Amino acid sequence: MRYMAFDRPVLRRTPGLVFWRLLGSGRGASTGIGADLRRWALLAVWRDERALDRFLDESPVVTRWRREARESWQVRLAPVASRGSWNGVEPFGPLPTSTPGIAPGGPGGPVVVLTRASIRPSRLTAFYRSVPEVDRLLAEQDGCLASVGVGEWPLARQGTFSLWRDAAAVRDFAHKGAAHRRVIGRTREENWYSEELFARFSPYASEGTWDGADPLA
């Protein structure tokens, strides 16, 4: 965790890195208050696969992470859909069908969902009061392979990263869970967020372990 501040200048100078965010994480799968200071993530958008491969092979950032980490997991994602913005930027564009080396899964394949929001200060209490019920629903949801809460800033800039068996499991969680539907309704009615983003991806390669196993294996 202590390297996050030192890694930023190096990442800014990394060739081919189009968009990136270093993210802290919550404890376990929870999206509520509380951070796991031992676990962090890099979300990165690359110009092409070659730039990513060079980063993994040559960057001092990756070398430090591998030396310090007790466990690591990485996944390569092809964007399927995205709406909203992140600090005024739309980081995920449509996947070109001609992109070499990428073969997204079909309609029945695994799906990754990324959500991110800037929460208005006046809505922080309402947001965090809604979290436990949604966390319970997520933990009980058939088809959720892994999930974690992530964030740029404590409390106010939060997100979720979740991996699902297929798109049908995502739809079930979004539309059949009463707790989740209530929260979604309140975010619109009470204007909880000053900015938000929802993106869906097809994972096409993974390496390492997450809590002892590769959830895509």
Q: Can you give the pLDDT at residue 98?
A: 38
Measured distance CA(64)–CA(157) in Å, rounded: 26
With a cut of 70, list the residues of the chain below it in pLDDT.
1-4, 28-34, 94-107, 154-155, 176-180
| pLDDT tens digits for range 62-83 | 999 999 999 999 999 999 999 9
148 contacts 158 by C-beta, under 8 angstroms: no
pTM above 0.75, yes or no: yes
Q: What is the CA radius of gyration of the chain?
A: 17
| pLDDT tens digits for range 192-204 | 889 999 999 999 9
